[in-house]
Amino acid sequence: MGGYIKNKKVMDKLSLIISKIRRNHWYRTYMRPIYLFVYGNRKLKNRNRIFLQYSQELLTNFHQAMNEVGIPYWLEFGTLLGAVREHSFISHDFDLDVGLFKEDYSDIIREVLKKYGFKRIRCITALDFIDAYEETYLYKGVTIDLFLFSREKNCDGVYCYDFVPVYSDIKRTKKGDNAIRRIHFPRIDLIEYSFIGINTFVPENYEEHLCMHYGKDYMIPNPHWKDSDAQHTDIFYGREIRIELFDKSMFVKLIIHQLQAQPFYKRDIIL
């Protein structure tokens, strides 16, 4: 599995530089807000416009691709929240999230998605967590993130991982300035769910599912909600992750994303 970024020394050096910039008080206080105001917010609005234009087409083709190979999937995170609460995509969103069981994942998914016009642009793994995996595909300028879910060993629930940047007063460790977040959910059994004219799939207990992640008031839009407000999560700090990029243009986008990303603070961190 080869990407455009393979040199670990280069990635470690880049990670260190980005980490120092993000921790810099002058950057956090002045430069980041100016950047977001002048450029970042405009870019997000453009991404949102493209998302609203092609998101239904993307989901339709993704649904057909998964049906063709007989692999179950379901709407997840913000996409599921929009389907249940808004009966549409969340108006300010700019990507899609879907879940799959790790046991169902195979190379055939990459092959069928390529057939339907999807371009694999990124995957993230962690050396310390063999079941931590996130994969991103691009379709007409809109991204879709695939989260792989594993079954809990000691209960009837499931969990997946995502990867988050960290701001902290803790000195940077040798393993980097990254955090891995394990997100817990109740058991998932799938049902069909009509969404924007597509008979897609959601967890049968989607109300409990959303409540466990977003809180009991998930049906009330909260403009101040952040990723760090998510419930039933474990955050592991200072873990070494591997980012593989399969599109040269993603290199610059990765740096920009890391610099403008919403931070997780020290209070959220498990050492």
pLDDT along the chain (271 residues), means of 10: 48 62 64 63 78 94 98 97 95 92 95 96 86 93 95 91 64 56 95 96 97 95 86 84 72 51 38 25
DSSP per residue over 119-181, as a string?
Answer: EEEEEEEESS-TT-EEEEEEETTEEEEEEEEEE-SSSS-EEEEEEEEB--SSPPBTTBSEEEE
pLDDT at 25: 62
Cβ atoms < 10 Å from Cβ of 80: 24
pLDDT, position 237: 79
The b-or-e profile of 253-268 (16+ CB within 10 A means b, else e) is ebeeebbbbebbeeeb
**Tell me, what's the pLDDT at 172?**
42
- How many CB atoms are located within 10 Å of the residue 57 CB? 13
Contact at 8 Å (CB) between 142 and 51?
Answer: yes
Cα–Cα distance for residue pair 259/155, rounded to 1 Å:
38
Q: What whole-number distance in Å separates Cα of residue 77 and Cα of residue 85?
A: 12
Hey, is 215 helix, strand or coil? Answer: coil
Provide the b/e sequence for 213-226 (b: ≥16 CB within 10 Å).
Answer: bbeeebeeeeeeee
Listed in sequence order, the residues at least 6 apart from 104 whose beta carbon sits closer than 8 Å to its beta carbon are 71, 72
In this structure, the dihedral spanned by the alpha carbons of residues 62, 165, 264 and 228, taken in order and rounded to 10 degrees, is 10
Residue 54 CB partners (closer than 8 Å, separation 6+):
139, 140, 141, 142
What contacts 81, CB < 8 A, 6 or more positions away?
A: 90, 210, 214, 218
pLDDT (0 to 100) of residue 235 = 87
Terminal C-alpha separation, the chain: 31
Of 99, 91, 89, 80, give the one whose Cα is nearest residue 57: 89
In this prediction, residue 71 carries a pLDDT of: 97
Residue 38 burial (10 A CB sphere; 0-12, 13-18, 19+): exposed
